[in-house]
């Protein structure tokens, strides 16, 4: 993958942050030679600006930046740091309420990733909370959230979200809006009948991490890797390098203890070989993440497809894909004819349901 100067510099920043070498800047380097508007746009869209700020500060290069760009990085870092404190307080209240009312849950992505795998944790921003519950507990969890001041973000679409997306979004107006998604399964269930996050094995093997006197329930490492790969592919369409950094951090921390054979078997059984392979391949190729070669061999995809697919455009994107392109992209990564047909039927039923609401 041949990268532009700006994309190369972003990768240099990320790999340095991830501990793969010192950030080397040649003497006489002209910081103004980089297209900072493009770099800031990519960083803003992909939530990378706090990480840029941390690594440039750490190596003493922040003052070398053009004044306008330096100010943008500083402002974004401070904004996300303040937002982190708001979400911490809210999460504590929610977890205590769920525990008191007997609603088991698991914290997905964002806050749990930042706490366990990033130092300082503020370098890994998040703009919402993602909480996994059991489907049978949805009404109870919804009632708790309502009592805590949350409302459903799109009440008219609640039934559609529950039926086809296996999640419902909530929000709460504070000094800053707090957003939260309740999940009980991934949306791949819409074309793949095999349970993934809803599996009883997930709930029987909850892992716990400590945070400021609070115990957070999280996924086992191999399941976390699969979930991050799914999210990176189907939700971000390969356009969120922060997800690649998350994968790298999980593998770096737990690599020697990860049951890679189990991960491979789960990926094959759940028919998610493609998203798993390409997510891990991109982490390996761009960030030098240490993934065992046998994983790539077991999950290998079509070589011609791998060479021709526009990964650079997707990975270094500075804005979302158009909705129709998103749908086409997801369709490409659904495995098997049966799954593709089921996804088309599901999409048609979603459109019918939306039209009925309108």
Q: Is 219 within 8 Å of 227 (Cβ atoms)?
A: yes
Walking along the chain (358 residues) 10 residues at a time, the average pLDDT comes out as 86 91 66 84 94 89 86 92 89 94 94 91 90 96 96 89 89 87 83 76 92 88 94 92 96 92 92 94 96 95 82 92 87 82 73 59
**What's the pLDDT at 182?**
96
The count of C-alpha atoms lying within 13 angstroms of the C-alpha of 92, restricted to the half-sphere facing its C-beta, is 11
At 179, is the secondary structure helix, strand, or coil? strand
**What's the pLDDT at 140?**
97
Q: Is 195 within 8 Å of 269 (Cβ atoms)?
A: no
pTM beyond cutoff 0.85? yes
Phi, psi of 217 (to 5 degrees): -80, 130
Buried b or exposed e, range 236-250, using 16+ CB within 10 angstroms = bbbbbbbbbbbbbbb
Helix (H) or strand (E) holding 85: helix 67-100
DSSP 167: E
What is the rounded distance in angstroms from the CA atom of residue 116 to the CA atom of residue 75? 25
**Distance set, CA 355 to CA 153, 190, 343 (Å):** 19, 19, 18
Residue 116, both tokens: 């366990």
- Closest by alpha carbon to 130, among 152, 148, 107? 107
CATH number, span 5-357: 3.30.460.40
**What's the pLDDT at 189?**
67
CA 208 vs. chain centroid, Å, equals: 20
Domain spans in the chain, listed from the N-terminal domain onward: 5-357
The DSSP secondary structure of 185-248, one letter per residue, reads: S-GGGGT--S-STTSHHHHHT-EEEEETTEEEEE--HHHHHHHHHHIIIIITTT--HHHHHHHH
Instruction: Count the neighbouring beta carbons within 10 Å of the beta carbon of residue 26.
Output: 6
């Amino acid at each position: 993958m041949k990268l532009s100067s700006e994309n190369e510099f972003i990768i240099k920043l990320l790999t340095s942050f991830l501990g793969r070498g010192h950030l080397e800047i040649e003497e006489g380097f002209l910081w103004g030679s980089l297209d900072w508007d493009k770099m800031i746009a990519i960083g803003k869209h992909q939530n990378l600006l706090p990480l840029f700020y941390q690594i440039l500060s750490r190596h003493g290069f922040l003052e070398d930046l053009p004044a306008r760009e330096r100010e943008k990085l500083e402002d974004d870092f401070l904004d996300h740091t303040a937002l982190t404190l708001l979400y911490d307080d809210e999460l504590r209240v929610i977890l205590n309420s769920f525990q008191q009312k007997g609603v088991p849950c698991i914290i997905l992505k964002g806050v749990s990733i930042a706490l366990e795998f990033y130092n300082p944790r503020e370098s890994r921003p998040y703009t919402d909370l993602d909480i996994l519950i059991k489907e049978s507990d949805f009404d109870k969890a919804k009632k708790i959230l309502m009592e805590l001041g949350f409302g459903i973000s799109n009440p008219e679409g609640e039934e559609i979200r529950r039926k086809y997306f296996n999640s419902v979004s909530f929000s709460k107006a504070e000094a800053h809006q707090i957003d939260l998604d309740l999940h009980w399964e991934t949306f791949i269930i819409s074309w793949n009948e095999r349970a993934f996050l809803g599996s009883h094995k997930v709930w029987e093997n909850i892992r716990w991490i400590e945070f400021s006197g609070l115990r957070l329930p999280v996924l086992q490492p191999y399941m976390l890797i699969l979930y991050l790969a799914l999210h990176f592919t189907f939700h971000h369409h390969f356009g969120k390098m922060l997800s690649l950094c998350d994968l790298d951090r999980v593998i770096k921390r737990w690599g020697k203890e990860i049951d890679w054979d189990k991960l491979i078997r789960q990926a094959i059984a759940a028919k998610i070989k493609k998203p798993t392979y390409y997510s891990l391949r991109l982490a390996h190729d761009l960030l030098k993440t240490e993934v065992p070669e046998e994983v790539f061999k077991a999950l290998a995809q079509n070589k011609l497809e791998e060479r021709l697919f526009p990964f650079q455009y997707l990975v270094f994107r500075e804005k979302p894909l158009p909705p129709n392109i998103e749908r086409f992209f997801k369709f490409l990564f659904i495995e098997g004819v049966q799954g593709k047909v089921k996804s088309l039927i599901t999409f048609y039923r979603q459109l019918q349901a939306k039209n009925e609401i309108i």
